[in-house]
Amino acid sequence: MADEQRSSLRVDEVLPEGGSAPPAPVPARRDEDLREHLPGVEPERRLSDWGRSERIEGLFDRTLYDFFYNYWFRCEVEGVENVPASGGALLVSNHSGALPPDAPMIAKGIREEHAHPRQLHITVEHFFKGYPGFSMLVPKLGCVAAHPANVQRLLYDEGELVLVFPEGRKGSEKLYKNRYKLRRFGRGGFVEAAMRAQAPIVPVCVVGAEEAAPIFAHVGALKRLTGLIYFPITPTFPHFGVLGMLGYLPAKFKVRFLEPIYFDSEGLHEDKSLVQSVAHEVRARIQENLFEMVQTRKSVWFG
């Protein structure tokens, strides 16, 4: 016991020097269940502890999202019953578009079509937190930084829905010619997160986002000059300015939620080969369904 107590105070002082990005610290397993000690909800507040604002999200939902969902992209959702009605679940989706329109459409789809409408937490790159304006808006719309500890807290402690894009920016920066071909699925971190929280993974396929915001080329010099993560050439950007990012083409959207994958026993995440094979399996399922959906659609614009 003495050893344990001592080790509880010892913090490894391995601090990287300089600005190189360190590996994200993975939350250590808690010895006890702290879920009952989560802070209570204060009804007077209109923001959650994550910085999510009901007011601003509602405003976006009623105007911009509603317009895009119903009239511009004419979203079609299938298999929404695969999203659990309660408890944590990790939604894993393909990703595309310079300013990806897929995440809000998935969230809107669950709100509109699900028997128990739930809010969805969208993981985004840490990059957004450093950008003035974006850093104010993005958390208010229900986005959280893609940190393993954040995902763990949302899935396990709070039992919420979390959407991840394992392709990350490799997905959103891919060129039009590579459309619907999934990139590498990271290091399988999302599978580890789901296993640690014992939350099911729900694979999601989105068709239409690639055509709605195609990227034709990247300009490396301008990317370095502006400090953006990438500087794409799209039908409307950069010649229509920053708002050109929102100039999506009216492609028909189809969102398909696949059968969930459950992890019921503890400690699965320690098995790296299992993690990798599950990540591979999820990727294969999404890829297969994407090809099938593209194959059967008659028109990019009318579905």
Partner 1 sequence: MEATAAPERRSGPGPAGAPDAPPSRRILVTGLSTYWGGLLAQRLERDPSIECVIGVDSRDPTRELERTEFVRVGTQHALLRRVVIAAEIDTVIDTRLTVDSTTVASRAAHENNVMGTMNVLAACGGSGSTVRKFVFKSSAHYYGSAQDDPAFFTEEMTRPYAPGTPIERDIVEAEASVADFAEKNPRTLVTLLRFANVLGPDVRTSHTKLLALPAVPMILGFDPRYQFVHEDDVVNALAHVVEHQQPGIFNVAGDGVLTLSEVAGMLGKSYAPALPPWGTGVAAAVARRLGVHIPPEMLGQLRFGRGLDNRKLKATGFRYRYTSRESVLKLSEHFRLHPILRAVEEPYHYEREVEEFLRWSPNVRDAAGRREEREDSGQPAELERRGAGERTPAPAIEGYDDLNASEIVPMVAALEPAQLSALREHERRSQDRRTVLAAIDKALARAENGAS
Report the C-alpha gap between 210 and 95 in whole angstroms.
8
> Judged by CB under 8 A, does residue 196 bind partner 1?
no
Evaluate whether 201 touches 279 at the Cβ level (below 8 Å). Answer: no
Q: Out of 91, 98, 141, 145, name the contact with partner 1 by CB under 8 A.
A: 145
- Min separation Cβ 138 and partner 1, Å: 10
Q: Would you call 219 exposed, middle or buried from its count of C-beta atoms within 10 A (0-12, 13-18, 19+)?
A: middle
Would you mind telling me the total number of residues written for the chain in this entry? 303
The tokens of 260 are what? 């969930």
Q: Are the beta carbons of 163 and 203 closer than 8 angstroms?
A: no
Complex with partner 1: residue 49 or 271, whichever CB lies closer? 49
| Identity of the residue, 6 or 116, whose beta carbon is nearer to partner 1 in the bound complex | 6
Q: How far is CA 282 from CA 9, 24, 86, 200, 293, in A?
A: 39, 23, 22, 12, 17
How does DSSP assign 53-97, residue by residue? BHHHHHHHIIIIIHHIIIIIS--EEE-GGGS-SSS-EEEEE---S
Per rule CB under 8 A, is residue 129 in the interface with partner 1? Answer: yes
Find the shortest distance in angstroms from Cβ 8 to partner 1.
4
Kindly state the smallest distance separating residue 13's Cβ from partner 1, in Å.
6
Residue 38 within binding range of partner 1, rule CB under 8 A: yes
Per CB under 8 A, the segment of 21-29, 62-70, 235-243, 283-291 that binds partner 1 is 21-29
Does 43 bind partner 1 (CB under 8 A)? Our answer is no
Contacts of 273 (CB under 8 A, 6+ apart): none
Q: Which of 11, 115, 221, 243 forms a contact with partner 1 (CB under 8 A)?
A: 11
Task: Summarize as ranges the residues that interact with partner 1 (CB under 8 A).
Answer: 1-2, 4-6, 8-17, 19, 21-22, 24-25, 27-28, 31-32, 34, 37-40, 42, 44-45, 47, 49-51, 126-127, 129-136, 139-140, 144-145, 147-150, 153
